[in-house]
Amino acid sequence: MNRDWHAAHRLDARAGEDERTAWHREHAARCGCRQPPARIAALLAAERAEPTPPSPSPAPAARPAGR
C-alpha cells in the first residue's frame, strides 16, 4: 500500500461519479492496493473499451501543373 499517495489523495465522501472514477483510475496507476468497487470498475472498463476516433488523414499533396 502506498501510504504517502493515500495521504495526499483523499477522496471526499461527497465526490461525484466523475471524481470517483478519476481517483480510482489514478489509484490503480499509483497504488493499486485494492480493486475499485464494481460500479467504478465497470465505468473504467467502459472507458478503456471506447474506441478513439481516427485522426484525420492529411490532404494529398498538390501535383505541379503540366505533369
The mean pLDDT value for 39-57 works out to: 79
What is the pLDDT at residue 10? 92
CB 46 within 8 A of CB 27: no
Helix/strand/coil for 30: helix
pTM of the model: 0.66
What is the pLDDT at residue 66? 66
pLDDT, one tens digit per residue, over 5-31 is 889 999 999 999 899 999 999 998 888
Residue 51 identity (one-letter amino acid): P
